[in-house]
Amino acid sequence: MSAAVPVHEGPLVIGVDSSTQSTKALVVDVATGAVVARGQAPHTVSGGAAGDGKESDPEQWWAALREALAQCEPYAPQAAAISIGGQQHGLVTLDRSGLPVRPALLWNDVRSAPQRDRLIGELGGFQAWAERTGSVPAPSFTVTKWAWLRENEPEAARATAAVRLPHDYLTERLTGQGVTDRGDASGTGWWASASEAYDEEILAHVGLSPDLLPRVLPHGAAAGTVQNLPDLPVAAGALVAAGTGDNMAAALGLGLRPGRPVLSLGTSGTVYAVSARRPADPTGVVAGFADARDAWLPLACTLNCTLAVDRIAGLLGRDREAVEQGGSTVLLPFLDGERTPDLPLASGLLYGLRHGTTPGQVLQAAYDGAVFALLTALDRVLDEDAAPDAPILLIGGGARGTAWRETVRRLSGRPVRVPSAGDLVALGAAAQAAGLLLGEDPAAVARGWATTEGPLYEPVQRDDAALHRIRQVMSGAQELLGRG
Ligand SMILES: Nc1ncnc2c1ncn2[C@@H]1O[C@H](COP(=O)(O)OP(=O)(O)O)[C@@H](O)[C@H]1O
Ligand SMILES: O=C(CO)[C@@H](O)[C@H](O)COP(=O)(O)O
């Protein structure tokens, strides 16, 4: 728990970030945005039966939520409202008694790549999918995971009486209500962004009844109230907001307006912006997500970000900050396959070693490789009229690292602002809970909390030579990277 603020002015709310590696919970003073208490508990990601997947037990998310909230006592039980932000896309399958049929298939599990390819072909191709759902599905998307489950574990699919996303699962444990929000629903692949409703044709195509899905709540609606849960340090009757996907929650937490790019460095790397225009990118680079309000959140996502670079630092036996500049090494850190670029079968690639190459330069090349794809998508997530010199808001666990920040500055040539408030996903969930409590726009609540304040790092000359090297290696190695 971080240093507690002993007095608070306003009512308290709880914001939760149930992400890939851990659950973080914040108790926040609605009047000021001050974090009164913080808790965190880890999750386990296993490799699936053959060691080639990414799965987590939803029961463990619930246990981690309880643990993180217990660390927030005595403040958590005083909260008047709570909201859950969660990792997007994960397929949670529940049986008739509400218990998980099997571990959840996570967003970074690429085993559904063949089903993804088939679904794109069977339902009209890239353009048709983009127009219909806002996105060309990646193997991250829930629809591809459901198709994988039906094909590979038909008994588990048959035993499924309800399908949830990670945040819906936790909201339902709190309230007993099977509900979700448009932000997280937009990452399933079975939510039509034009009509803002489940796409019954896609659902019929993958043999999933809409009756198994949560109801999509309108912006500002409550999911319900906290049930009487004796092991949970939250008061029965506290309001529960709809919750949302973790990227949508961070956008709320930053009070994001169109034209402000965000780069998030966590297990996933993401780059996104809010837009008033419904996105539909037929190349598949940009996912056309909805935000948690009534706008849109065009976003590009990589599978290999902080964990991949930390792994390479570990292989080199170096601290993650021990980078050195110079040399011409290129490292594509695709340890888990990759989503941006669309290379689900790829593995990591190291190119350009010389006698003079130092371990620190190889580590720097890993940072460059991880940041490259995100920056190439930056202009595509921003509206055309966005100011080209708007600072990048750098968030996520990696934003605390100097090597990450300096890599983003060097490869973007843009100013970078690092909000001093950490945990922006949890803070955004808290803003959603506060918005529900006050009947106000959650993004406006977050703006009142001044969550984007933090040091601004001036732009430096963009390192076009490094970008060119990476582009060259990427195109020269296409065949190798596509083959796995
Ligand atoms: N001081 C730091 N410097 C650089 N990276 C950090 C630092 N602290 C944490 N991280 C990175 O943050 C990552 C976790 O980020 P987080 O956004 O919490 O992930 P997720 O939301 O995917 O669970 C870790 O993989 C770690 O590499
Ligand atoms: O798949 C995506 C976005 O489309 C990821 O951003 C997940 O939402 C997981 O987020 P983290 O756990 O890395 O924060």
Instruction: Return the domain boundaries, the chain.
Output: 12-242, 255-419+454-482
Residue 52's pLDDT is what?
Answer: 81
Does residue 111 contact residue 175 with C-beta atoms inside 8 Å?
A: no
Q: What does DSSP say about strands 81-86 and 244-245: parallel, antiparallel, or unpaired?
A: parallel
For residues 343 and 157, what is the distance between their CA atoms, to the nearest angstrom? 27
The single residue of 184, 246, 336, 423 carrying the catalytic annotation is 246
| pLDDT digit string (tens) for the chain, length 484 residues | 344 445 788 899 999 999 999 999 999 999 999 999 999 999 999 987 777 899 999 999 999 999 999 999 999 999 999 999 999 999 999 999 999 999 999 999 999 999 999 999 999 999 999 999 999 999 999 999 999 999 999 999 999 999 999 999 999 999 999 999 999 999 999 999 999 999 999 999 999 999 999 999 999 999 999 999 999 999 999 999 999 999 999 999 999 999 999 999 999 999 999 999 999 999 999 999 999 999 999 999 999 999 999 999 999 999 999 999 999 999 999 999 999 999 999 999 999 999 999 999 999 999 999 999 999 999 899 999 999 999 999 999 999 999 999 999 999 999 999 999 999 999 999 999 999 999 999 999 999 999 999 999 999 999 999 999 999 999 999 999 997 6
Residues 92-123: b if buried by 16+ CB within 10 A, e if exposed: bbbeeeeebbbbbbbbbbbbbbebbeebbeeb
Q: Is 383 among the residues known to form the active site?
A: no
* C-alpha of residue 191 to centroid of ligand 2, in Å: 18
User: Residues lining ligand 1, judged by CB closer than 6 Å?
Assistant: 19-22, 266-267, 306-307, 310, 320, 396-398, 400-401, 404
Ligand 2 centroid – CA 194 distance (Å)? 23
Please give the pLDDT value at position 75: 97
Closest CA to 65 of 103, 109, 14, 99: 14
Q: Please check whether the two domains, 12-242 and 255-419+454-482, share a CATH topology.
A: yes
Q: Residue holding tokens 């594509």?
A: 332
- The reported pLDDT for the residue numbered 6 is 53
Measured in angstroms, how far is the CA atom of residue 302 from the centroid of ligand 2? 9
* Candidate of 22, 26, 43, 267 to mutate for ligand 1, largest count of ligand atoms within 8 Å of Cβ: 267
* 238 CA to centre of ligand 2 in angstroms: 28
**CATH level 3 topology of 12-242:** Nucleotidyltransferase; domain 5 (3.30.420)
Residues shown for the chain: 484
Ligand in closest contact with the CA of 249: 2
Probe residue for ligand 2, chosen from 247, 265, 297, 306 as the CB with the greatest number of ligand atoms within 8 Å: 247
Phi, psi angles (nearest 5°) of residue 350: -115, 130
Domain made up of 255-419+454-482: CATH architecture: 2-Layer Sandwich (3.30)
The pTM score is: 0.97
The pocket around ligand 2, CB under 6 angstroms, is made up of 19-20, 87-89, 107, 140, 187, 245-247, 266-268, 270, 287, 301
* Number of other CB atoms surrounding residue 479 within 10 Å: 7
Give dist(CA 66, CA 69) in Å, integer.
Answer: 5
Ligand index nearest the alpha carbon of residue 403: 1
